[in-house]
Amino acid sequence: MANWTTASRKHFAELMSVDTWLPEKMPEYAQGFMYMLGSLTASSFVVLVISGIILAANGPASWSYNGLMRFAAAVHFWAVQAFFFFMMLHLWRVFFTGAWRGGRGGTWFLGALAMFIAIPTAFTGYLINGDFFSQWNAVQAKDGLNALGLGWVNLPNAGQMFGNHVVVLPLILGAIIFAHIARVRLKSVVPPYPLESEQGVKVKKEA
């Protein structure tokens, strides 16, 4: 009788196999541009992580006086725009193609959760700019969190926001994105909805 260690071992072996992550063939329906939106979102996240590491290594004020760091900050900023742009398009494509079908509900949930975690991740990055606009937004958002009973999140505290933006939230977001991609690789990409004619033939056969 199989126990939980056996099941975990089999699942881990399937997850980490070469065939799962480097398949030789992809379904024909998954080769269109709309099915690349998830990959573009993940690629934007990789650029975000790399540019963010460069900025964090040089300190939060380095982009104010260093030309190279200003370039890294610009790359980081536009990677954020690309990340949310492709993520929203990916979300709509997934919604209208019913990507939760075939036991893929967990995959869809992880993708939606990643979107919600990405919002405070981006917002805390905006708050550590230290300019007037970020300080004003921090104070206004702090009042909103106090009204919700979340006063322990001190948005005007630059140290807390820096730690959340650089360490806590990116690790959580990265783990969710990895789990989302892993489920996509295990379950494959959901096929399109069948044509009405195909549905009619299927109903006839079942009858």
Residue type, 106: G
Q: Could you read off the pLDDT of 45-83 as tens digits, one per residue?
A: 999 999 999 998 887 777 777 888 899 999 999 999 999
The pTM assigned to this predicted structure is 0.79
pLDDT of residue 18: 63
Would 39 be classed as within a structural domain? yes
Would 4 be classed as within a structural domain? no
Alpha carbon distance 7, 144 (integer Å): 46
Alpha carbon distance 142, 136 (integer Å): 10
Would 153 be classed as within a structural domain? yes
Q: Are residues 111 and 91 in contact, defined by beta-carbon separation less than 8 angstroms?
A: yes
pLDDT of residue 43: 94
Domain of 74: which CATH number?
1.20.810.10
Would 199 be classed as within a structural domain? no
DSSP 35: G
Residue type, 192: P
Of 73-87, 161-175, 184-198, minimum mean pLDDT range: 184-198
Domain holding 72, by residue range, is: 32-193
Q: What percent of the chain has pLDDT over 70?
A: 85
Would 129 be classed as within a structural domain? yes
Would 16 be classed as within a structural domain? no
> Domain tally for the chain?
1
Q: Could you read off the pLDDT of 122-133 as tens digits, one per residue?
A: 999 888 887 788
Would 43 be classed as within a structural domain? yes
pLDDT of residue 173: 96
